[in-house]
Amino acid sequence: MSDSNPSFLGRISLAVGTFFSILGNGDFAADVLRLRNGEKIGAAPVAAGAAAAPAPAPAAQPKPQPAPVLKEAPPDAALQLLGLLQRDARFIDFVEEDIRSYSDADIGAAARLVHEGCRATLREHFTIRPVRDEAEGSRVTLPEGFDASSVRLTGNVVGSAPFNGSISHRGWRVDEVRLPKLADGHNAKVIAPAEVEL
């Protein structure tokens, strides 16, 4: 109760509620008895003549990390990239095609064309570099405070940095983006317009 000096009616209500709580809950009754004897609530009763054992120091709790602030990514650039991949590599046509009826050779030939177009599009509009310069399989040491957004730990991750391991994937990062500018009124949701042959 937050009120340190309850009114007379408040004290009556408290007394009646406490009375029934004492009758129904032995632990609560023991706490009330300790309070009346001047002891702290929740303290275990001390046997006569026995010295109270010092309470163990509470374990250090890690500081709670603040919740990450989530921001909504504007979709126009992603839609524009999809449009470029469709235009130059027929990427969406390939992904949306039901390929179960095609032979592996047919799928491989189509995948080669899509791969070449996607690669050309990425190289034209992005400068992409590996996150790590070392060769895959190289042994590396990640110091304390390493950038966890650039390096993901896999395998048996225990303890804290520094971590020693081998690079299974170098990762990718974009150093430069060169997407075309969009005209006012451009509908980026239309990745590829429908075609009507006359």
pLDDT digits (tens, 9 = 90+) for 8-37: 666 666 666 676 677 677 777 777 778 778
pLDDT digits (tens, 9 = 90+) for 91-135: 999 999 999 999 999 999 999 999 999 999 999 999 999 999 999
SS3 170: coil
| Residue 128, φ and ψ in degrees, nearest 5 | -110, 130
The neighbouring-strand residues paired with 8 are none
Q: What residue segments make up the domains of the chain, in order of their start?
A: 9-43, 75-129+174-185, 132-169
Which residue matches tokens 């009646």? 16
57-82 mean pLDDT: 82
SS3 177: strand
Tell me what the pLDDT averaged over the chain comes to: 84
Q: Does position 56 have pLDDT exceeding 60, yes or no?
A: yes
Q: Does position 40 have pLDDT exceeding 50, yes or no?
A: yes
Which residue matches tokens 């449009």? 83
Query: pTM for the whole thing?
Result: 0.58
What percentage of the chain carries pLDDT values higher than 90?
A: 54
CB 188 within 8 A of CB 79: yes
Q: Does position 1 have pLDDT exceeding 50, yes or no?
A: no
